[in-house]
């Protein structure tokens, strides 16, 4: 479009009409047309003083290099969109740049919704639910019905974290909600929807909080008491059997346990692929578990009597269940085990808030303290990195520390 027929101007603009509570002024994308004479200001996530804005945009100060690059990218994208609109109209520009309620093809919401639908189609209902909760939380903070990629920068993310902490949400919860957002950004960049300059995560930018929760592992002595104790009710007996099956079966996740099939057993070996990674080729390495006498006894006592290859090992689910039914039944059974195993533990004076997940953490901790390498346990749990496995490990007990300390001298004698 030549300058003669160009009837609009686009710029990054410091709106000094009214300062915000922090004393700074909001930075906006300004679109102006001569005929008709009209102006529209679109918000960004930046605030600056007049002097700092001048340092950034006029003097090109290195102190604000990252912010300037992002704002220049917004300006450039707006110019590219505007060139395609002949004759130029602000309302058409707005729909093309940001989308409208019926056509938001380039924003955060759209990619979230696509991801959620894909996870549901792949029967990854837990992941779909996590994405739904993440988007709901982000929209509540943003206080608008949609989020554009350029809204989400380091300052926006830090503000979200502060708001969540103020609302008494844990750093672990913040991480759970922000990891899907990071994945959405990576998809948007891969698909060419946004430029890498918009990516707000990583070194020198925003870092998602790592899980900081309490280690959910029982001590060796607690496990001995629970394994050797006698449950008071049939429900406690059943909960005990399944909890210790999970513990002894390489800390198998309950969802994976309930989906095991008879064909997964070959003599004394159980082979399965985690449901969590079955749709991700690079992570779908089969897990093999040696079926010791205890595991075989649980299968015999609690399992289906029909050993046909297609049958499930345990009778909690069945093959005609759809994805929603399986999810509901699994969650109900986990609640059943949590309730009755916790009551069983209390009857033995073990007053911990034990859940099915403690079986997985306890396996990791006991295996490592008994000499298994971190790499072995990481492979057994099908973790993508050693860092994840380290978060499962509760640490060495005092007796083990004494044993190691004494052995340093014993070997010299």
For residue 344, what is the domain's CATH number?
A: 1.10.443.10
Show Cβ contacts of residue 363 under 8 Å, excluding neighbours closer than 6 positions: 246, 247, 248, 250, 251, 377, 380, 381
The reply to whether the predicted model has a pTM over 0.75 is: no
Segment among 51-65, 158-172, 203-217, 370-384 with least mean pLDDT: 370-384
Domain shared by 93 and 112, yes or no:
no
Domain shared by 360 and 257, yes or no:
yes
Q: Is the pLDDT of residue 206 over 90?
A: yes
Residue 87 falls inside a structural domain? yes
Domain housing 400: 220-404
Residue 115 falls inside a structural domain? yes
Q: Give the end of a domain, one of 98, 125, 145.
A: 98
Residue owning tokens 């001048």: 54
- Cα–Cα dist 251/274, whole Å: 12
Residue 378 falls inside a structural domain? yes
pLDDT, mean of residues 31-55: 91
Residue 409 falls inside a structural domain? no
Domain shared by 273 and 318, yes or no:
yes
Note the pLDDT of residue 276.
65
Residue 353 falls inside a structural domain? yes
Domain shared by 166 and 115, yes or no:
yes
Burial class (CB in 10 A: 0-12, 13-18, 19+), 299: buried
Domain shared by 90 and 119, yes or no:
no
Total structural domains in the chain? 3
Domain shared by 16 and 51, yes or no:
yes
Domain shared by 125 and 88, yes or no:
no
Decide if 138 contacts 181 (C-beta within 8 A).
yes
Closest by alpha carbon to 133, among 159, 164, 99?
164
Domain shared by 232 and 371, yes or no:
yes
Give the mean pLDDT of the chain: 84
Residue 256 falls inside a structural domain? yes
Domain shared by 358 and 386, yes or no:
yes
Residue 233 falls inside a structural domain? yes
131 or 406, which is more confident: 131
Q: Give the end of a domain, one of 98, 116, 142.
A: 98
Q: Give the end of a domain, one of 39, 71, 98.
A: 98
Of the pLDDT bands very low, low, confident and very high (cuts 50, 70, 90), residue 98 is confident
Note the pLDDT of residue 202.
87
Note the pLDDT of residue 3.
45
Domain shared by 61 and 121, yes or no:
no
- Cα–Cα dist 100/178, whole Å: 25
pLDDT, mean of residues 24-49: 91
Domain shared by 128 and 261, yes or no:
no
> What is the tens place of the pLDDT at every residue in 312-350?
999 999 989 888 899 899 999 999 999 999 999 999 999
Residue 207 falls inside a structural domain? no
Q: Is the pLDDT of residue 375 over 80?
A: no
Domain shared by 169 and 58, yes or no:
no
């Amino acid at each position: 479009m030549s300058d003669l027929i160009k009837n609009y101007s686009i710029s990054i603009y410091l709106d000094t009409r009214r300062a915000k509570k922090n004393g700074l002024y909001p930075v906006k994308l300004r679109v102006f047309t001569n005929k008709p004479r009209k102006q529209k200001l679109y918000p960004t996530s930046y605030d600056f003083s007049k002097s700092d804005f001048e340092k950034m945009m006029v003097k090109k100060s290195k102190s604000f290099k990252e912010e300037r690059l992002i704002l220049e990218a917004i300006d450039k994208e707006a110019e590219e969109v505007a060139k395609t609109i002949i004759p130029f109209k602000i309302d058409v520009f707005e729909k093309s740049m940001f989308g409208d309620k019926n056509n938001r093809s380039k924003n955060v919401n759209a990619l979230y919704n696509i991801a959620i639908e894909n996870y549901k189609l792949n029967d990854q209902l837990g992941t779909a639910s996590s994405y739904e909760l993440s988007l709901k939380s982000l929209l509540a903070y943003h206080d608008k019905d949609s989020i554009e990629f350029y809204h989400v920068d380091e300052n926006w993310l830090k503000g979200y974290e502060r708001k969540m902490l103020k609302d008494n949400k844990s750093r672990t919860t913040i991480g759970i909600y922000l990891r899907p957002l990071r994945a959405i950004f990576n998809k948007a960049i891969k698909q060419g929807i946004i430029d890498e300059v918009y990516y707000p995560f990583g070194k020198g930018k925003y870092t998602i909080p790592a899980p900081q929760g309490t280690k959910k592992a029982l001590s060796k002595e607690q496990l001995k008491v629970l394994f050797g104790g006698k449950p008071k009710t049939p429900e406690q007996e059943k909960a005990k059997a399944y909890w210790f099956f999970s513990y002894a079966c390489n800390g198998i996740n309950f969802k994976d346990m309930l989906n095991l099939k008879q064909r997964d057993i070959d003599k004394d070996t159980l082979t399965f692929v985690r449901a969590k990674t079955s749709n991700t080729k690079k992570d779908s390495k089969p897990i093999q578990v040696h079926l010791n006498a205890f595991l075989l006894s649980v299968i015999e006592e609690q399992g289906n009597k029909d050993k046909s290859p297609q049958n499930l090992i345990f009778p909690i689910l069945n093959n005609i269940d759809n994805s929603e039914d399986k999810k509901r039944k699994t969650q109900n059974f986990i609640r059943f085990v949590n309730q009755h195993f916790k009551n069983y533990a209390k009857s033995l004076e073990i007053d911990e808030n034990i859940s099915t997940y403690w079986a997985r953490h306890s396996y990791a901790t006991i295996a490592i303290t008994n000499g298994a390498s971190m790499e072995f346990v990481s492979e057994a749990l099908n973790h993508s990195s050693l860092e994840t496995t380290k978060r499962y490990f509760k640490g060495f007990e005092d007796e083990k520390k004494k044993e190691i300390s004494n052995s340093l001298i014993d070997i010299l004698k």
